[in-house]
Chains A and B, each alone.
Chain A
Amino acid sequence: MWDYTETLKDHFFNPRNAGVIENPDAVGEVGSLACGDALRLMFNLSDNGTISDVKFQTFGCGSAIASASALTELIKGKTLAEAEEITNQDIVEFLGGLPEQKMHCSVMGREALEAAIDNYRTGSTEKHELEGNVVCTCFGVTDEEIKRVAQENNLKTVEQVTNYCKAGGGCGGCRGDIEEILQQLQREIPQPTADQDDKTIKQKSRSMTNIEKIKLIQQTLDQQVRPALQADGGDIELIDVVENRVIVAMRGMCAHCQVSEFTLAEVVRAKLHEFVSDELIVEELKT
């Protein structure tokens, strides 16, 4: 049984703006019967350019219906430019959270919105598809879509990508390709201190302000430590920095891991010493 929020259940049992607009100004359609979920979003624009009337139809599970309902509430009264800024995370937040495995429902909402805006501007009624080459043939997901969803949601593992856009969730044959895309994205993120001379970094760290130091510690944890932990179902959170004491908490699988002390000492300290300052001491906050 899924752990749905009360808001989500309310939007499933009492969906807002369900139905059809005859001859709408814009219509966007994503998904298919075969894929197991689909969404058609329709809206009209008022004279002042805001979305005045919006309706949706959804074939799908509880969270797909609720995500579509949330989307319509989010875009109502907004201009196209404002609506364009809406991400799948906005839908997730509106619903008070989505189970990880249901994140693709929120991404489907964002895609339908884009398709509808595209339809309004170009008159295109083609099913909305991003550029790129199909990586997941089961669900027809391209490399560009995977990159985008990974970047927008800061995804680190193949499993996360599957949760957010279904890619890799069918036969599983493309999971290696997705892993490669993720690694490529990791390489593309600038590694600001990696290739600088060790001494300059440490000199720099001595002259850093507290805020700069904390930011660099956070950045090092995000880029150098978290991906490996997340791959094993764990995570690390920066709690505080008091002078040279870096206080962190282990999350998820790592929190109960027998070897987490070893992980802390060996990995976190080494990375912080390498990238920030060798004077840092790592302490774990036990909850």
Chain B
Amino acid sequence: MKNVYLDNNATTRMADEVLNEMMPFLTERYGNPSSMHTFGGENRHNVDRARQQVADLLGCYADEIIFTGCGTESDNTAIRGIAHLDNKKRHIITTRVEHPAVRTTCRQLQREGFRLTELSVDEKGRLNLDELRQALTDDTALVTVMFANNESGVIFPLEQIAEIVKEHGAILHTDAVQVVGKIPVNLSRLPVDLLSFSGHKLHGPKGVGVLYVRRGTSLLPLLLGGHQEFGKRGGTENVAGIVGLGKACELAGAHLDEESERVGKLRDRLEQGIIKNCPDVKINGDVTARLPNTTNIGFEYIEGEAILLMLDRLGIAASSGSACTSGSLEPSHVLRAMGIPFTSVHGATRFSLSRYNTQEEIDYVIREIPAVIKRLRELSMFTPKDASPQAPYERKPEIALSPGLGERES
């Protein structure tokens, strides 16, 4: 069966070069890097090399890189590690469109007694920086704002955000899971204190993540244990995963131009092809500040899960923010925060590309998708006459939910 994989914001295909680098550490080189004997100890050099490869991609020092188990662990470590550092500062600022790894952690801290401000976004998924300025107080311990959104692909202006946050002396963390490897990140010029990302989003292995901690930033470790990772993350190193992640970062650096140019052109081709061949579609998110690989398209009057099932039968893998795919009964919190009209919120479909996609694949999708949309609209009882008024999809003000409820993954 055909497999056109357009769900790269969920996870990516591991590069062959990455697997090759990892193989010795999954087989004969099983030693523990902390061991005194050569057999284990020499693996330390491979871990250090990977740390340097990551640092080279981010424009930082190797000793600012901590390897973790996943992006979610990096986020948890950063947020909890800062929040519990200073008992006098009890305020956290985040946004309404964060990934559950950040959102759920912040809301848990709220339950534990912290004040939490969740910044709103406009209909294009953009922040209002004045809202951030007004939210900052002397009491603010941490600002955690994602670098780019996993669903809409909208990139937040981290440089301006950093400038504002630094004026107030708060710590700035960013979840950059969707950014690293897709667009350039230079931490020598971008003054964030903490940054998270994960291996499997940039053609590396699953089960390994990175937390960047700027020199001079104190942080309480989340996982207490041995001395590994400069005492900031206990636990025997996942050597194969770390080596693979390092290689993935090296490859990402080499492919950065390609990611942002060739992949961007393919994305635009897909988007334009769909707009041209399907009536009543809307692009969700700010098209002027967006990841090059992501498009989120709202197909009006039909529902996302039905679209995905139809595409799946054609061998096309995509993702949806609709209620029925989110494991909850409401559309994704990101699309709701953006106030996407209810005519299109349920049909929001995300296509996320990678360097492994070809123009042939994109043209196949462009060719097949109009019939899918037409078929579901024939089944649907709604048509453009149902569109007025164009009310945004809104519910009562949200109350904090128990962890996991109403959340969806990447």
Chain A residues close to B by CB (< 8 Å):
2, 9, 12-13, 15, 18, 29, 33-34, 36-40, 57-65, 101-102, 104, 137-139, 162, 166, 169-173
Contacts and interface: CB of A to CB of B under 8 A. Distances in A.
A138 B331 CA distance: 12
Nearest to A37: B303
A65 B309 CA distance: 12
Contacts of A36: 303, 322-324, 329-331, 346
Given A37-B303, A171-B399, A172-B405, A65 B381 contact: no
B329 A33 contact: no
Nearest to B396: A171
Given A36-B346, A37-B324, 10 more contacts: A57-B380, A59-B301, A60-B324, A61-B305, A62-B309, A62-B324, A137-B396, A169-B329, A172-B406, A173-B396
Contacts of A59: 301-303, 346, 380-382
Nearest to A19: B378
B130 interface: no
A228 B64 CA distance: 50
A127 to B, nearest CB: 13
A60 B306 contact: yes
B381 A57 contact: yes
A37 B386 CA distance: 14
Contact of A18 (B304, B323, B379): B379
Contacts of A64: 303, 324
Contacts of B399: 171-173
Contacts of B306: 12, 60-62, 65
B329 A34 contact: no
Contacts of A13: 310, 313
B217 to A, nearest CB: 36
Contacts of A138: 330, 395-396
Nearest to B398: A171
Contact of A40 (B381, B396, B397, B398): B381
B339 interface: no
B410 to A, nearest CB: 15
Nearest to B342: A34
Contacts of A137: 396
Nearest to A40: B381
Contact of B401 (A9, A57, A172): A172
